[in-house]
A and B are shown apart, each in its own frame.
Chain A
Amino acid sequence: MIPVLLILIPLLGGLSAFFIKNEKSSRIWTLLISLIVLVFGVYGVTLKAGAAGLTYNGEWMQALGGSFSVALDGMGQLLCLLTAIGFPLIFAATWNNTYKNANRFFALMLLSQAGLMGVFVAMDALLFYFFWELALIPVYFLCSQWGGEDRIRVTFKFFIYTFVGSVLMLIGILYLQSQTPDHSFSIYSFYKLELSPNTQSWLFWLFFAAFAIKMPVWPLHTWQPDTYEKSPGAVTMVLSGIMVKMGVLGLIRWLLPVFPVAAYSWGDVVGTLCIIGIIYASLIAIRQDDIRRLIAYSSIAHIGLMCLAVFSANESGMQGVMIQMFNHGINIIGLWILADIIEKKYGTRKMSGLGGLAQQAPVMSIFFVIIALANIALPLTNGFVGEFLMFNGVINTASNYYFIFIIGAGMGIILGAVYTLNMVRKTFYGANIVPSSGMPDLSWNEKLALSVIVIIILILGVYPQLFLNISEDISKMIVNKVDVRGLISK
C-alpha cells in the first residue's frame, strides 16, 4: 500500500488545501502533509524491493484496458524518497515567501507531488501517462499565475513543448497496447513484446522525444532556462530537482527495456546529442550573468551526462544514474534555495551586481561553497560517486565512439569547474559591492533546510553503498533486458 499512500496523501491533502482560506493554516497544512509523505517515503526505502507492501494492483479504467498497477522498485524507492524529501525541504526553505492566493499555490504544489509519485511508481502505461500529465499541469498553473514578468509567454512555450512530447508518447503507448496480445497497458506486457527493429525505431523516437523534452536533452532545451528563470523559486526547485527525473526514469523504465534494439542502434546518435549538450550548455553557463540561468544551463549539462550514461547500458553506468538522479535533485534544490535567498535579500540575481557576500553572510557562503563543490562532483561529496560510476559506464559502453564520448563528457568536468567557481567568486568573494541588506545571515528555516542537504551530500559522498544497494537489483534487471549485443551479433 505504500505507493498508493504516497500518491493519495498529497493528492487528498492538495485537494483539501484549496479550501483552507487562511494563508498561515494552508502553509502549515501543506508542510504537515509533506512531512507525512516523508515518513512513508522513508519507510518505503527501508523495505526490500519486492516486499509485499511495495506493490498494489487495483482496477482502474478497465474499459480502456488500464489497471491501477503501482510498485516501488529500487529506482522508484530512490525517486520517491527524493520527492518525499524534496517537498518539505522546499516548503521549509521558502517558508517566508508570500504568495497571493497561497492556498491555491500550496494545493497545486501538493497535486504536483502526487503526480510525481505516480509517475515514479506506475507500472501501467496509461496510469503512467495520466500521472505524467497530473504532475505537469499544476506546474503550468504555478508558473503562469505566480511567475515573474513575461511569465505567460514563457509558460506557454513550456506547456506547448511538454504537451507535444506527451502527445507523441501517448501515440506510442496506444500503439504498443494494440500490439500486446491481451491489449494491456501493463509494463510487463510491454517488456514481453518482440517488435521488429523498424517498428522499434520509430516508436523509440516518439518516446524519446517526450523524455528528451522533459529532461531536457539538446537541442530540445530552450524552454528550460526561461522557465527556470521566470517560475517562482519553489516551483523551479520542483521542476529542476525532481521533475526532470521523470524523463530519466522514462528512459530507464519505459524506453530502453521496451526498445532494446533501437536503443542500441540509435545509441550513438543520442550519445552525440548528449555530448553536444554537455559542452554547449557548459559553455553557455560560463557566459551567464544571471545566477538562475547559470544553474539552468548547468543542469542541462548534468542531465546530458545522465542520459549518456543511461545509454551506456551497463551496470556501472546505470547505478551511477540511479544515485545521481537523487544526488542531482538534492544538490540543485540546494543551489536554487541559495539563489532564491540571494535574490530576496539583495534584490538581484545578476552576478555583476553582487560580490563580497562572504563578508556579510559567511554561513550562507559556506553552504553555497559546499553545495557548489558537490555540484562539480568533488570526491567525498555525493556528486562524485554518481559521476564516477557514470563515466565508468560510458567508457565501457558497447559503442565504438566511447573514447570520444568520455573526452566530450570529460569537458563537462573542466567547464563545470569554470562556471561554478566563477559563480562562487563573483557572488561571494571580492570587495563588497552590495550594501548590507540588514537582514540576518540566514534564518533558522533556511539553515535547517540547507543543513539537511549538506548532511545528505556528505553521507552519500562517504558511504554511497547505502543507496547503491537499494538500486542494485533494478539496475541489473534493466541492463539484462537491454543487453542486445548477443542478439545483434547473430
Chain B
Amino acid sequence: MNNFFEIAYWIPLLPFIGFLVNGLGRNSLSRSVTSLIGCGTILASFALSIWVFLQVKNGSVGEVSYFNFISVGELQIPFAFKIDQLSSIFLLIITGVGFLIHVYSTAYMHEERSAHFARYFSYLNLFVFSMLLLVMGANYVIMFIGWEGVGLCSYLLIGYWFKNTEFNKAANKAFIMNRIGDLAFLIAIFWIIARVGNANFNDVFAVAQGNVEGKKFSASDITLVTMLLFIGATGKSAQIPLYTWLPDAMAGPTPVSALIHAATMVTAGVYMIARSNILYSLSSVTMEVVAIVGLATALLAATIAIKQNDIKKVLAYSTVSQLGFMFLALGTGAYVAAVFHVMTHAFFKALLFLGSGSVIHAMGGEQDIRKMGGLSKKLSITYFTFLIGCIAISGIPPFSGFFSKDAILLSAFEHNKILYAVALFAALLTAFYMFRLLFLTFSGKFRGTDEQKHHLHESPSAMTIPLIILAILSVVGGFVGIPEVFKANGDKLSSFLSPVISKTGEHHVSHSTEYMLMGLSTGLVLLMIIFAWFKFRNYKSSESKGFGKLLENKWYVDEIYDRAIVNPLHRFAGFLKDVFDKKIVDGLVNGVGKAVQYSGRQLRLLQSGQVGIYVLLMVLGMLLIFVIQFFLRK
C-alpha cells in the first residue's frame, strides 16, 4: 500500500462536501456561489484523479482501508478503496465528463429558482460521490453502496421537476426496476461471503482461481454468482429485461441524462463485470448469456430508436443499444473493448445529449424532432459538434467510436459469425437512426412555430465550450486503442489494463481479414448514411403503419409488462387487502372472539360494562404488590 493513496478519500469526499453545502445552504446561496461549489468540487476531484492516474501509470497500485464498516464474527467488511488501472480510468471519466456537465448545467438550469438550482447541484454532486464510491470500492459491499447511491440520485434527478406526476412515476419506475437488479446483486454478495468469508475483490478472485487453501468456489457457485451479478447489471445498465426504465428516465433535466443516463451510471454494470472478469472467464455459460442478452438488447433498442420522434428518446434507446454492444464485448471476453467503448461512448453520447439539450434550449422546450428542421444555420456550434458525435457513434474512422466498436465487432467475429452478423446489422441501424435524427433536426426546412423560429439562438458559452471539448474528445478519444494492424503497440489501453484484465488469447484473425471487416463495416455505414440523407433531408411527416407502428410503440414491451406482471400483482394485492385480510384472516379471529363473547354473555360476567374498572383495579393492584414487595422486602 502506498501512503500517498491515503488521501484518495478526498476524491469522493469533495463532491460530498459540495452536496452538503449546496443542500443545506440552498435557501441562502446565490446561483453563482452554488455553481462555484458544485463545479469547483468536481474540478478538484478531477485534478486529484489525474494525479492518481499518473501514479497508477507509474506502477503504484494498491488498496487503502479507512475503517471497519461491518465486523461480525468472521465477517469483516472494511471501508476500503482499491486504486488500480481500472478504477483510475473510471475516475477520469466520471470526474472529467462530470465536470463538463456541471459547467454546462450552470447555464442550462439558470432559469430555475435559486433554491431549486442549489438542490439540483447538490443532487448532482451526490451522484458523483456515489459513482466514485462505486468504482473505488475494494469490495462488493462498498461497490453496492455506490451502486444503490447512484440509483437514488438517478431517482431524485429524474423526478427533479416534482410537480409533474408523470416524471415522478418515471423516477419510481427507475428506482424499482433497479431494485430488482439490486436484489440479485445482494444475493450474489451473500453467496460470495458464504464461500469466501468476505467480499474483498482480491480474496474473491484468489478463491475463484483456487489459490486459497480450504476455500473453494465450485463451478456451479461461479455460474450462480456471475449470473446474479449480471442480473444486477441488467437493472443498472438497462439490458433486457430490465431496460424499460431508461427511456422513461429522460424526464430528468437533459444534463442529467447526459451524465447519469449515458456517460456514467448506466455503465456501472459494465464496470462491475469488467472488475469481476476473473469470475466471468471461469463460467462459459454466463458468458454466453451475457453476449446474447447484450446483442439482443443492442438490436432491439436500435430498432426502436429508428421510429422515435422525441430527440431524447432516440438518444436513450441509442444508449440502451450501445450498452448492449458493451455487454456483447464482455460476453465474448473482450473486457478491454467494453471498457474502451464505455470511454468513447461517454464522450460522444454526453456530447449528443448535451447537444440535444442545446437544441431543446433553443426550441423553448420542444423535443419533437418532427417540429424541428433546418437548425444548422442558427445553431452552428451545436450542429457541428452534434455532427461529430453522430460520426463518432456510427463508427467512421478515425473517430473514436470506430476503434471501440471495431474491437467489439472483431471479438464477436472471432467468437461466432452469426453474432458478428447481427452485431453488424445493429451497428448499421445505429448509423441510420443517428443520421435520421441529425437530418430531421438540422437539415431541411424549419417545421416549428413562428415564435420558435424567432426565438432560435445558439446557446451561451458555458454550454458550447463543453460541447466543443467533448467533440474534440470524440474525435481523438479512440487513439488510445489503435489496433495492432495499424500500429504496433498502438493499443495502449489494453497494455495499461493488462494487470487487471487477464488477456483472453491473442487475435486469431489475419490482418487481411481484419482490414476486410473494417472496410465492410465502414462501407455499409456510409451507405446507410447516404440512404438516411435521401430519406430524411426533406422530411414530411406521415403516419406509420404495420411494422413501423410496432417499432414506434417500442414493441409494446411496457404494455406487456403491465398486463403480465404489474396489473395482476396489483389486483392480487387488492384481493389480499379487501377480501383475504378483512374477511378471512380477521374473520376467523372475530369468529373466535364472538364465540368467546357469546359464552361470556352466558356467564353474565362481562355484561356489567365495567371491564375498564376491573382492569384498572388489576393494574393498580399489581403496582401496589410490586411497590410493597420492592420497598418492604427487608
Q: Taking beta carbons and an 8 Å cutoff, which residues of A are in contact with B?
A: 15, 58-62, 68, 130, 133-134, 137-138, 140-141, 144, 157, 160-161, 219, 221-223, 280, 283-284, 286-288, 315-316, 319, 356, 358-359, 362, 373, 378-380, 384-385, 388-389, 391-392, 395-396, 406-407, 410, 413-414, 417-418, 421-422, 425, 428-432, 463-465, 468, 472, 476
Q: Are B70 and A133 in contact (CB under 8 A)?
A: no
Write out the residue numbers on chain A whose beta carbons fall within 8 Å of the beta carbon of B598.
none
* Chain A positions within 8 Å of B54 at CB level: none
Set of chain A residues within 8 Å of B141, measured between Cβ atoms: 388
Q: Are B70 and A388 in contact (CB under 8 A)?
A: yes
B6: interface (CB < 8 Å): no
A398 to chain B, nearest CB (A): 13
Q: Which residues of B contact A421 (CB under 8 A)?
A: 155, 171-172, 175-176
B148 touches A283 (CB 8 A): no
Q: How far is the CA of A425 from the CA of B615 in the complex (A)?
A: 44
Contact indicator A468/B633 (Cβ below 8 Å): no
Q: Which residues of B have CB within 8 Å of A316?
A: 72-73, 75
CA distance A195 to B626 in the complex (A): 31
Say whether B183 contacts A410, CB under 8 Å: yes
Shortest CB-to-CB span from A59 to chain B, Å, is 5
Given the complex, which residues of B lie within 8 Å of A389, measured CB to CB?
70, 72
Distance (Å) between the CB of A58 and the closest chain B CB? 7
| 24 CB-based A-B contacts, threshold 8 Å | A60-B629, A60-B630, A138-B619, A141-B612, A283-B572, A284-B576, A284-B581, A287-B574, A287-B576, A288-B577, A319-B72, A373-B152, A379-B145, A389-B70, A389-B72, A391-B186, A396-B194, A413-B182, A413-B183, A417-B175, A421-B175, A421-B176, A425-B169, A468-B72
Contact of B72 among A60, A315, A432 (CB under 8 A): A315
Known: A157-B593, A422-B172, A429-B159. A413 touches B186 (CB 8 A): yes
- Would you give the shortest CB distance from A369 to chain B, in whole angstroms? 8
Bound complex: CA of A283 vs CA of B152, how far in Å? 22
Q: How far is the CA of A288 from the CA of B581 in the complex (A)?
A: 13
Q: B611-634: contact bitstring with A at CB < 8 Å (1 yes, 0 no)?
A: 010011011001101100110010
Q: Let me know if B145 and A380 touch, CB within 8 A.
A: yes
Contacts of A356 in B (CB 8 A): 163
- Chain B nearest CB from A157 CB (Å) reads 7
Near A by CB (< 8 A), chain B positions 568-624 give 569-570, 572-574, 576-578, 581, 585-586, 589-590, 593, 596, 612, 615-616, 618-619, 622-623
Closest to B162 in A: A429
Q: Which residue of B lies closest to A131 (CB)?
A: B626
Chain B residues contacting A418 (CB-CB under 8 Å) are 172, 176
Decide if A413 touches B72 in the complex (CB within 8 Å).
no
| A58 adjacent to B630 (CB under 8 Å) | yes
Say yes or no: A283 contacts B576, CB within 8 Å.
yes
| A residues near B168, Cβ cutoff 8 Å | 425, 429-430
Q: How far is the CA of A286 from the CA of B576 in the complex (A)?
A: 11
Give Cα A155 to B359, complex, Å: 63
Verify B633–A287 contact, CB threshold 8 A: no
CA A280 – CA B573 in complex, angstroms? 8
The reply to whether B73 and A315 form a contact with Cβ atoms under 8 Å apart is: yes
B165 at the interface (CB under 8 A from A): yes
Residue of A nearest to B165 (CB): A430
A406 touches B569 (CB 8 A): no
The reply to whether A68 and B148 contact each other, CB–CB distance below 8 Å, is: no
When C-beta atoms are compared, the residue in chain A nearest to B161 turns out to be A429
- Assuming A59-B633, A465-B68, is B569 touching A283 (CB within 8 A)? yes
CB-CB under 8 A from A223, the residues of chain B are: 589
Q: Which residues of A contact B69 (CB under 8 A)?
A: 463-465
**Residues in B whose Cβ lies below 8 Å from that of A465:** 67-71
Q: Is B528 positioned at the interface, with any CB of A under 8 Å from its CB?
A: no
Closest 6 CB pairs of A and B: A283-B573, A379-B145, A222-B586, A429-B162, A315-B73, A395-B190
Query: What's the minimum C-beta distance from B250 to chain A, rounded to whole angstroms?
Result: 18
Q: Which residues of A contact B623 (CB under 8 A)?
A: 15, 134
User: Cβ of A133: which chain B residues have Cβ within 8 Å of it?
Assistant: 622
| Residue pair B633, A60 in contact (C-beta under 8 Å) | yes
Alpha-carbon distance A140/B145, docked complex (angstroms):
42
Q: Are B573 and A287 in touch, CB under 8 angstroms?
A: yes
